[in-house]
Amino acid sequence: MAETHHFDASKLFSVKGFVAVITGGGTGIGLMAAQALAANGAKVYITGRRMEALENAAKTHDPVHSLGGEIIPIGPCDVTKKEDLQRLVTDLGKKEKYINLLMCNAGVAGPKAEPKHENAEDLKAALWDNESVEEWQNTFNVDVTSVYFTTVAFLPLLQAGVKPNGPLEAFAPSVITTSSMSGIMRHAQGHFSYNTAKGATVHLTKLMSSEFQKANIRVNSIAPGYFPSEMTAKSSDDRQKSHVAPEKIQEKGHVPLMRSGRDEEMGMTVLYLAKNQYVNGEIIAVDGGVLNVLAGR
């Protein structure tokens, strides 16, 4: 039975002593997650293809306080290559005996082609001429296949976080995948390949959560709406942060809050999934109410 002081937020969401790994951790949602975890005591390794971006993110956002959290760049790593993933696991295994959290966040937007025509010939031309099989395959490779192989590569280090190897009593290590509201809705948004891939990520998360619970590893997914990132804003500043003007969101006409998500709102969700042991196999939409407006499944 919990006493009232057990509900202190600093205890509920403390990740002091955690070791976390985030792919695509140098910008956007990955960096938001790294900041949230590090600010609450975790040692967070961020990886990706661009070491300069990772190093700049760590330098400009590493927390300075008594909880001891830190953001550490490691890599580079192309998550679509098994040899890169294995090298990352090997390198990390030399530094840490275990990890408590893996966030598979790396992703790409894929090709865009608007299905706005009613005439079938025009509709075919718009889609056929503006997308390629290779672009579809690359989108799936990054957004789905790499999520699977990244998770599989880290299974031993995740399981090592459970006692007697790790310090946390009866604590199930956790995987968080970054899917998308786009993988739940029926509106293509001109991104058939991206939305389809994110739908596959949603189902992959459910499969892994069921199959990997025998190893005492939880798997959940965050399905973000419009959050500022290099994917949505097309750029980032000198601190690896992106900005999306409210007007750009309002133009879409289907976001009830009429703004993009805030860094802290993503951070809250990451901490919740990292700490709540009774949550497994869930897809948490953080979308400002978009799925209340656009049809889901």
Active-site residues, by number, are 179, 194, 198
Instruction: Determine which helix (DSSP H) or strand (DSSP E) holds 283, and give its type and residue range.
Output: strand 283-286
Residues 6+ apart with CB under 8 A from 149: 79, 82, 85
Asked whether the beta carbons of 5 and 28 are under 8 A apart, the reply is: no
Per-position DSSP letters for 63-80, written without gaps between them: --STT--EEEE-----TT
Q: What are the angstrom distances between the C-alpha of 258 and each of 75, 249, 253, 277, 287?
A: 37, 6, 8, 33, 11
**Residues whose CB falls within 8 Å of the CB of residue 208, separated by 6 or more in sequence, listed in order:** 148, 151, 175, 219
Distance CA 254, CA 207 (A): 31
**Strands of the 218-224 sheet, one edge to the other:** 70-73, 43-47, 19-23, 101-104, 174-178, 218-224, 283-286
Distance between CA 246 and CA 231 in Å, rounded?
A: 16
User: What CA–CA distance (Å, rounded) separates 26 from 5?
Assistant: 36
